[in-house]
Amino acid sequence: MKKLVNGFILLLFLFGIQEVVAQTTSTQVEFAETQWDFGKIKEVDGVVSHTFTFKNVSTTPFIINFVSVSCGCTSPEYSKEPVMPGKTGQITIHYDPAGRPGFFSKEIYVLSNNRKSQNIITIQGTVEPRPRTVEDDYPVVFPDGLRATSNSIAFKNVPAGYRHTMAIGVYNNSDKNITVNTVMPQSAGVSVYASPEVLASKAKGQILFTYDTKNNVGYGPFSYDFNITVNGNKVSSPIRVRGVVIPDFSKLTYQEKMNAPRGDMDSQFHYFGEVGLSETLTHNFELANNGNRDLIIEAVIPSSSEVTCTLPKKVLKKGEKEIISVTLHPKKSGRISQNVIIVVNDPTDPVKDIRVVANIR
């Protein structure tokens, strides 16, 4: 009896496979080709197209219900009229290479018979990028023809004990020389300057920002704003500099890195939803040490007075977990978004950026 049941189950399984195959591959039509290689195409030439031809080799009408593409760069064109037995039909695929340099390969799914069967056709090719313009490379516009690569500098994580320098590229797009200077409040370990100060017509330069952490023993985020002047006129929007100072892990050996602590969080984001101004908004996050040595919490820096963070202890042994309690203190109605930066001695992921958001009625 058991063998009979097992045999029946096997038959059902095999029948199920045949049913899936029948539903996923249409044998009603034969395509003259199922793949098309555009070869090398130029981005500046715009949309390219190819028409796939198929023949209905069955005894029933063939109707395309839907043609599925993977992205907006690919669009199909086809007739929804039935293709009668022995007749041919066409599907034209358009590909837009704008902003998509390099190799591409796209699968297009042709769904028919009330979407119970499908055929797959493929296009591919390589897009030669259009020549870059000044506007591409220097999208930020300043007065008197000065352009820049960005209006911000993101250092991300910088190890303590070193001088770190990053630059913004600038370009004089005018027909005259431009004088560029920097304006920044004095701050220890921080310097910014334009090189060169006098930028010739159609010439390139840089604005260099240096942050010296050699004497900095504190960890956590840093932020600075500075202005530039163009031909003596101060630009109204400041250039923003952001980053996080972390411990220096460069001297760790491979074995020390393998045996290092590892801080894993269950989540780093929480949305409180729509809540009243007087409600208490607290969420608990879990930090676990899944490494082999003590996990040390080096710094806890809230983004403003509207958010506070409570940690029972600053050192987690191997395998220990800790609850990090984050509380929002909204001061007015509207959307509030705050974060807490936590720096730990985990060389693989030293910065935990916890963000909490709420809509306050």
DSSP 249-293: -TT--HHHHHTS--EEES-SEEEEEEE-TTS-EEEEEEEEE-SSS
Please answer whether residues 111 and 132 qualify as being in contact, where contact means their C-beta atoms are separated by less than 8 angstroms. Answer: no
**How many CA atoms, within 13 angstroms, populate the side-chain half-sphere of residue 236?**
1
In sequence order, the β-bridge partners of residue 30 are 55
Phi (first) and psi of residue 336, to 5 degrees = -125, 135
* d(C-alpha 354, C-alpha 227), whole Å: 30
* d(C-alpha 6, C-alpha 259), whole Å: 51
Please answer whether residues 118 and 92 qualify as being in contact, where contact means their C-beta atoms are separated by less than 8 angstroms. Answer: no
* d(C-alpha 297, C-alpha 43), whole Å: 50
Antiparallel, parallel or unpaired: β 35-42 and 117-128: parallel
Q: Which of 271, 262, 269, 270 is nearest to 321 (CA)?
A: 262
| Burial track 244-260 (b if 16+ CB lie within 10 A, e otherwise) | bbbbeeeeeeeeeeeeb
* d(C-alpha 183, C-alpha 38), whole Å: 52
Place of tokens 């040490």: 289
Q: According to the model, what pLDDT value does residue 107 have?
A: 94
CA-angle at 195, arms to 148 and 174, nearest 5°: 50
Q: According to the model, what pLDDT value does residue 22 have?
A: 39
Eight-state DSSP code of residue 255: H
Q: According to the model, what pLDDT value does residue 312 have?
A: 87
Q: According to the model, what pLDDT value does residue 217 have?
A: 65
pLDDT lower than 70: segments of the chain: 1-26, 114-115, 217
